[in-house]
Structure 1
Amino acid sequence: MKALLKTSYRIYEVSTVYNKIILRHIESYNGTKKEQLKSFLEDLQQSGCISGMISEFIYHTDCKTFYITHLDDLENIKNDLEDSLGEVIVNRFKNPHYTFMCWLCFEEYCHSIYINEFE
């Protein structure tokens, strides 16, 4: 799906994993693949990973494993985001760092696809 390539974060290896997660989750939505993707991304922007809608990131132990596996990419995505915002991103809800990073980076990845594809 071409829309998944419309993110500046595609340079990171974790993007392949993110795309697989997205493709798995959009199957439960109605419409064409593009409509499914748009609906999924809008739901994620509305509810966030904290809602539990991304099964891969519900449990802290799963987030910890994911974070350890993709540590460099996740930290680089966060750094890229901080550079573009011009400010430090704070874990204001005091979640474990690995959960915070999984949620932040996945949500940012999906947001960048939405902005580049649908806005």
Structure 2
Amino acid sequence: MKAFEKSVYIEYPVSAQFKKIVLSNMDSYDGTKKEQLKSFLEDLQKNGCICGMISEFVYNSDCRKFYIQHLDDLENIRYEIEDSLGESVKNRHRLPHYTFVCWLCFEEYCFDIYRNSFE
């Protein structure tokens, strides 16, 4: 799908893992691949990872493992987000840092795809 190639985060190797997660989760939606992607991304924007819709990021232990494997990419994406906002991103739910960063980066990756493909 061309939508993934438009991501500003494609330069990060972790984006390939994020893409796999999106592709595996959007299959439960109806319609064409593009409609499935749009519906999935809209659900994620409404509910976020905190609702448990991303099975790869439900448990803190899974987030910790993912974070350790992709530490540099995730922290660099977080820095990019903070640079673009001009302030640090707050961990409002007081999650473990690794869970917070996984959710933040995955949600931002998905929002970027939505913004570039559907807005």
Same fold judged by TM-score > 0.5?
A: yes
Is 1:31 aligned with 2:42?
A: no
1:2 shift after superposition = 0.8
Is 1:114 aligned with 2:114?
A: yes
Distance in 2, Cα, partners of 1:90 & 1:5: 29
1:99 shift after superposition = 0.3
What's the secondary structure of 1:9's corresponding residue? Answer: coil
1:77 shift after superposition = 0.4
What's the secondary structure of 2:79's corresponding residue? Answer: helix
Distance in 2, Cα, partners of 1:15 & 1:58: 19
What's the secondary structure of 2:94's corresponding residue? Answer: coil
Query: Gaps spanning 5+ residues in structure 1: where?
Result: none
Distance in 2, Cα, partners of 1:5 & 1:114: 12
- Which string of whole-angstrom CA distances, capped at 9 and with x for unpartnered residues, describes residues 7-34 of structure 1? 1001000000000000001110000000
Decide which moves more: 84-93 or 14-23: 84-93
Q: What is the aligned partner in structure 2 of residue 92 from structure 1?
A: 92
Q: What is the aligned partner in structure 2 of residue 7 from structure 1?
A: 7
Q: What is the aligned partner in structure 1 of residue 45 from structure 2?
A: 45
1:48 shift after superposition = 0.2
Distance in 2, Cα, partners of 1:12 & 1:65: 18
Q: What is the aligned partner in structure 1 of residue 72 from structure 2?
A: 72
Corresponding letter in the other structure for 1:97: H
Q: Alignment RMSD, CA only?
A: 0.5
Corresponding letter in the other structure for 1:107: E
Q: What is the aligned partner in structure 2 of residue 56 from structure 1?
A: 56
Q: Provide runs of 4+ in structure 1 moved above 4 Å.
A: none
Decide which moves more: 83-92 or 54-63: 83-92
Identity of aligned residues (%): 66
- Which string of whole-angstrom CA distances, capped at 9 and with x for unpartnered residues, describes residues 37-79 of structure 1? 0000000000000000000000000000000000000000000
Distance in 2, Cα, partners of 1:114 & 1:29: 16
1:93 shift after superposition = 1.2
Distance in 2, Cα, partners of 1:70 & 1:31: 32
